[in-house]
Amino acid sequence: MSSVLPPKPKKIEKTIEQLEFKRKDPYAWIKDENWQEVLTNPSCLKDDIKSYLEQENEYTNNIMASTAALQEKLFLSMKEKLVNKETSPELPDGDWIYYSRFNDQQEYKCYYRKSVQNYKEHLLFDPNEEAHQYNYYKIASMTHSPDHKLLAYVEDTKGSEAWQIRIKNLHTDEILPQIILPCSGSFTFSPCSQYLFWIYRDNQGRPTKIYRHHLKSMQDVLIYEEKNPGFFLNIEKSLSNQWIYITANNHDTSEVWLISADTPTVDPICFRKRKENVFYKLIDWDKQFIIYTNENNAYNFKLMRVTIPDQLTLENFDHKYWQEWIKHNPTHYLIEIYAYRNFFLRLERHNVNTQIVITTLDQQEILITGDEEAYVLSLDENLDYNSNWLRYSYQSPTTPRCWYRYHVPTGKKEIIKQQQMPSYFDSKIYQTKRIWTTAKDGNQIPLTLTYRKDIEFNGKTPVLLYGYGAYGYAIDPIFSISALNYIDRGWIYAIAHIRGGSEKGWEWFLNGRKFNKTNSFNDFISCADFLVKQHYTQPKMIVAEGRSAGGMIMGYIANERPDLFAAIIAVVPFVDILNTMSDITLPLTPPEWPEWGNPIKDKHAYKYIASYSPYDNIKKQAYPSILAMGGLTDPRVTYWEPAKWIAKLRDYTLSKNLLLLKINMDSGHAGSAGRYASLKDTAFIQAFALSVLKAKI
């Protein structure tokens, strides 16, 4: 054990009274009162808070100094599995082919195109040239105008997700003078290429308005304003180039507004007014709008359709004209839909794994699936609406990603690209299996395990157990070069597909949210207990990892079952949930009330959140080793959550196990943005996990 002592932050007693309840928060001062300014200008952070965070970083770095050689080894083992010049699959679009490429030793991929006439490569944009000016740099999205004359991209130079849109003339290679900001990150060109529609981000980091930007005059016209602070906004152009869709939604309810390509300057028209707990979205296909909806308890979603009229009016889309097309399936979750001129696509999920269903114009269905126990099929981007080729990819924890194209009329399948691996990599030495355990209430929970075939199952195998369980986001069993760092050292890499995600359908999500939230936590514990009972491992040989909302699980299991885990890794962990959900100034608080409950107005919600909120339930006991990581400019899970959590844990723990905090002073929710910088973050985390178990292996 290191003789270096951890920082001892000051305490300022604060009592919070809310709905006739009281709670104390001695570390509330770590939240800078001017946090909104800090997000965009980190130098504004108060001196005492900055000093404390720097002390924590110094302490963590001193503790982890002994693992420097291990970190470098882990980093290099991942780096050597990356191709120096990694090129994306090419995307044809009219007379051009678009693609991106990582060049030798560069942190960011460059964007290119070439003409189908001569295949001469043209560099569209090099983020590496921009990134050297900043401590943080990230491109969120990039797209060209339908006429191929302009390129627009959104960039973040703080990590705070306060995006700005830049536009480049592809004929002159000049960056246009206008900088569109502050933007939420969502934008689209009009089908005529004369306008750019973008979403305004207010001072609280919420999308509230949509503007039409005239690219020649640089004038902005407000076309939509969202008054509900709990709603998100999105805007996109249909692949058919016929429509622009504006979607306003929270996690349960949505509303779509339409702009026709023929009249881009006409005010949008509402397709169907929002109705509480009814979610829908649109796509146009075969002279119809296809409606993806959960109406009438279609919790796994179904498809309906309505004919597109010559004149757009609200009456044309009355629900009485809707016809059911694809019925609700209680065992198959309908994830996404895509439309091309001659075929329609559905991406579905059944018991974690995904499948693709193709529907032709004559209503014939073609199914594409996999043959491993655990895998993921993903639909790949295709810019050509008239193409007869479907593009998709396949991967599993033991199978590197492979991109295919499938010719719908003939069934011919071709490989577009394979993820390249070093010559010594042999997928045959690894095993992936899907196992199931029983939750406290009898539900069956899937786990995905990956390991080397030559490991000995003696009940002492170390396990990295990963979980998320929130927002209906499924943790897919992908191929991961970072996971190999554990697996090749004799570990089992396990994914707990707990409730709150959608691995078993949307109902799996509904049964792990709001007043069912503790199901997510107990499912994770059940998975860990099962691995012990089945003699895969033993207590104190499991390292648990969760990120963001998955960090909430890490905080809960630390409080409730510290006996099970050797270490807990919580990256940007949502652990101060009661305080966060009670602060309406934070960007995501109103939109997240459907997910967690509103403790400002609802006593039941307050009491339920208070019963599990990790920060509020720390107790006198022996905690395992814990590493918490955050980002100073993170608008989603603010830096003070992991900072307060670790400070309070040190006040209560009865063990001498490490409680470490690392705050990235130059990044936000996603951590380091660069290709290699992110690998170094991963190597740091892995070195912590490996070092904790080193004496026990």
pLDDT tens digits, one per residue of 313-362: 656 688 888 999 999 999 999 999 999 999 999 999 999 999 999 999 99
Q: Assess if residue 306 is contained within a domain.
A: no
pLDDT in tens, 179-229: 999 999 999 999 999 999 999 999 889 999 999 999 999 999 999 999 999
Let me know whether 568 and 617 are in one domain: yes
Residue 113, number of CB atoms within 10 A of its CB:
22
Let me know whether 381 and 481 are in one domain: no
pLDDT in tens, 242-266: 999 999 999 999 999 999 999 999 9
Let me know whether 568 and 653 are in one domain: yes
* Contacts for 401 with CB less than 8 Å, ≥ 6 apart: 393, 394, 395, 418, 419, 478, 479
* Amino acid 314: pLDDT: 59
* Contacts for 685 with CB less than 8 Å, ≥ 6 apart: 545, 569, 571, 627, 629
Let me know whether 385 and 467 are in one domain: no
Average pLDDT in the 402-423 region?
96
Q: How far apart are CA 593 and CA 229, in angstroms?
A: 11
* Amino acid 313: pLDDT: 65
Let me know whether 526 and 414 are in one domain: no
Residue 303 · residue 337 · CB < 8 Å: yes
* Amino acid 317: pLDDT: 81
Residue whose C-alpha is closest to residue 511's, from 545, 469, 561: 469
Residue whose C-alpha is closest to residue 486's, from 630, 688, 696, 624: 688
Residue 299 · residue 507 · CB < 8 Å: yes
Residue 481 · residue 356 · CB < 8 Å: no
Residue type, 399: T
Q: How confident is the model at residue 426 (pLDDT cuts 50, 70, 90)?
A: very high
Residue type, 504: K
* Contacts for 269 with CB less than 8 Å, ≥ 6 apart: 257, 258, 312, 313, 314
Let me know whether 383 and 468 are in one domain: no
**CA torsion, ordered 498, 501, 502, 507, to nearest 10 deg:** 80
Count of domains observed in the chain: 2
Helix ranges (DSSP H) in 203-354:
none
Sign of the four-CA dihedral 647, 636, 607, 515: negative
Let me know whether 462 and 416 are in one domain: no
Residue type, 584: I
Q: How far apart are CA 600 and CA 218, in angstroms?
A: 43
Q: Assess if residue 546 is contained within a domain.
A: yes
**634 given a catalytic annotation:** yes
3-state secondary structure of 128: helix
3-state secondary structure of 257: strand
| Last residue within a domain, chosen from 420, 447, 478 | 420
Pairing of the two strands 163-169 and 195-201 = unpaired
| Last residue within a domain, chosen from 420, 448, 480 | 420
- Retrieve residue 546's tokens: 């969760």
Q: What is the DSSP letter of 590?
A: H
CATH number at residue 563: 3.40.50.1820
Q: How far apart are CA 664 and CA 4, in angstroms?
A: 21
Let me know whether 557 and 620 are in one domain: yes
Residue whose C-alpha is closest to residue 477's, from 377, 587, 620: 377
Let me know whether 571 and 674 are in one domain: yes
- Retrieve residue 339's tokens: 């439309």
- Retrieve residue 693's tokens: 């178990």
Q: Assess if residue 589 is contained within a domain.
A: no
Q: Assess if residue 606 is contained within a domain.
A: no
3-state secondary structure of 530: helix
Q: How far apart are CA 385 and CA 461, in angstroms?
A: 50
Pairing of the two strands 565-571 and 542-547 = parallel
* Amino acid 1: pLDDT: 44
Q: What is the DSSP letter of 27?
A: T
The enclosing H or E element of 472 equals none
Q: How confident is the model at residue 695 (pLDDT cuts 50, 70, 90)?
A: very low
Catalytic residue among 100, 667, 669, 681: 669
Let me know whether 414 and 552 are in one domain: no
Average pLDDT in the 285-290 region?
95
**184 given a catalytic annotation:** no
Q: Assess if residue 588 is contained within a domain.
A: no
Q: Which residue has the tokens 């001129």?
A: 341
Residue type, 654: L
**pLDDT > 70: what percent of the chain?**
98
Residue whose C-alpha is closest to residue 198's, from 140, 280, 135: 140
Q: How far apart are CA 546 and CA 628, in angstroms?
A: 10
| Last residue within a domain, chosen from 420, 442, 474 | 420
3-state secondary structure of 106: coil
Average pLDDT in the 372-393 region?
97
Secondary structure of 355-424 in the HEC alphabet? EEEEEECCCCEEEECCCCCCCEEEECCCCCCCCCEEEEEEEECCEEEEEEEEECCCCEEEEEEECCCCCC
Residue 69, number of CB atoms within 10 A of its CB:
9
3-state secondary structure of 28: helix
Q: Which residue has the tokens 């401590």?
A: 135
Cα angle for residues 65, 69, 74 (degrees, 5° grid): 115
Q: Assess if residue 311 is contained within a domain.
A: no
Average pLDDT in the 505-511 region?
98
- 288-293 sheet: strands from edge to edge: 280-285, 288-293, 302-307, 323-326
Q: Assess if residue 443 is contained within a domain.
A: no
Q: What is the DSSP letter of 88?
A: P
* Amino acid 487: pLDDT: 97
* Contacts for 364 with CB less than 8 Å, ≥ 6 apart: none
149 phi, psi to nearest 5 deg: -95, -25
**678 given a catalytic annotation:** no
Residue whose C-alpha is closest to residue 543's, from 523, 569, 525: 569
Q: Assess if residue 414 is contained within a domain.
A: yes
Let me know whether 463 and 529 are in one domain: yes
Domain that holds residue 538: 15-79+456-578+612-696
* Amino acid 696: pLDDT: 38
Average pLDDT in the 635-643 region?
97
Residue 40 · residue 161 · CB < 8 Å: no
pLDDT in tens, 513-532: 999 999 999 999 999 999 99
Residue 60 has pLDDT above 80, yes or no: yes
For 655-674, give one letter per residue: b (16+ CB within 10 A) or e. eebbbbbbbbbbbbbbbbbb
Residue 207 · residue 187 · CB < 8 Å: no
Catalytic residue among 184, 548, 672, 691: 548
Q: How far apart are CA 678 and CA 487, in angstroms?
A: 20
Strands (E), 456-501: 463-467, 492-496
Let me know whether 405 and 465 are in one domain: no
* Amino acid 3: pLDDT: 65
- Retrieve residue 153's tokens: 């991209």
Residue 310 has pLDDT above 80, yes or no: no
Catalytic residue among 634, 672, 681, 691: 634
Mean pLDDT of the chain: 96
Average pLDDT in the 95-107 region?
95
